[in-house]
Amino acid sequence: MAFETQTLDIKGNRLSLKRGGQGEPLLYLHGTEGLSHWPQFLDDLAQKYDVIAPDHPGFGSSPTPEWMDDISDLAYIYLDLMQALNLKRAHVVGHSLGGWIALEAAVRSQERIGDLTLLAPAGIHVKGQQKADIFLIDPDEQARMAYADAALGAAASEQANAEKYQEVAIRERIASARFGWNPRFYNPRLGRWLHRIGVPTLLIWGDTDRIFPPAYGPAFQSLIPGAELVTLKNCGHLPHVEKRAETLAAMQTFMAR
């Protein structure tokens, strides 16, 4: 599926995005790993949807405006983006950091959001449920931990080790830290507003997620009214990569309703 790269000006900020496919609009918000390794999952979704996949500010080809320092800035940027593209009833899909952004946007306004699919999202903290500190470990170790399958983890680890001091990898770690350093990938105030989410919400979690433990799934479910939770077996922190078919199947059933 051919994706076209576009650069949009959102209130004076340059945002680079890839857009491909036809159908209902689907906004994909990536996690800390960015989009430099394009997930095939997005090609699959573009068979049926108009997929819009931006590089978050500081990731890929999007520069970071110096004033940006909080997750709420990203939430507003994407509300502005949906408005600029005049999206209606968009399927919003977010992975990890991107899931957090989707939630922060949704508690502010669901005017243009049709439904939410959250793949192992960040955003809240459950007491006693320790997340991996992806800033303390090296990228190769993080890549290994992201998979349930040891062979996939080893291959990803080797690649991450080779790329960790390349410009884009360094920049994306900086962008991740800008929004997720303290507290680590959560907003202590988010949980108290998740009750505002009134659109259908699907949570997908790997049962062997060693970055964000699977216990976060039920915690989110209890905070978001009517949210469904699908747990995938033998799956780590990247359900859309490690269990692509099952993830797509769960999403398509959900989004078709």
Partner 1 sequence: MKVMVFYLMPYADLDPGIKDKYRSAWIVLPNSHFDPEKGHALYNRYLDELELCDELGFDGVCVNEHHQTAYGMMPSPVVTASALSRSIRKGRIAILGSAFCLRENPLTLAEEHAMIDVISGGRLISGFVRGVGSEYFSFGANPVHSLERHQEAHDLVVRAWTEPGPFAFEGKHYHFEYVNLWPRPLQQPHPPIWCPSMGSLETIEWAAHPDRKYVYLQNFSPRLAVARYLNLYREIAQRKFGYEAKSDRIGYGAPVYVADSDEAAVNEARPHIEALFNIFLPKVSEMMFYPPGYMSPESLKSVMQLKRANAGGVKIETLIERGIIFCGSPDTVRSQIAAAQAELGFQEFLCMLQFGTMPAALSVKNIRLFAKEILPHLQALTDRDYRGFELPKHAAE
Contact status: 19 vs partner 1 (CB under 8 A): no
Contact status: 162 vs partner 1 (CB under 8 A): no
Phi first, then psi: give them for residue 81, nearest 5 degrees: -60, -45
Among 1, 162, 174, 249, binds partner 1 (CB under 8 A): 174
Question: Which is nearest to 222 in space by CA: 97, 110, 126?
Answer: 126
- Taking the complex as a whole, the smallest distance from the CB of residue 92 to partner 1 amounts, in Å, to 26
Q: Which is nearer to partner 1, 12 or 183 (CB)?
A: 183
Assign 3-class secondary structure to 203-247: EEEECCCCCCCCCHHHHHHHHCCCCEEEEECCCCCCHHHHCHHHH
CA–CA separation, 43 and 140 (whole Å): 26
Q: Taking the CA of residue 86 as centre, how many other CA atoms within 13 Å lie in the half-sphere pointing to its CB?
A: 0
Binding piece for partner 1, criterion CB under 8 A, among 10-18, 102-110, 166-174, 216-224:
166-174
- Taking the complex as a whole, the smallest distance from the CB of residue 179 to partner 1 amounts, in Å, to 9
Contact status: 137 vs partner 1 (CB under 8 A): yes
Contact status: 138 vs partner 1 (CB under 8 A): yes
Residues within the interface to partner 1 (CB under 8 A):
69, 133, 135-139, 141, 165, 167, 170-171, 173-174, 176-178, 181-183
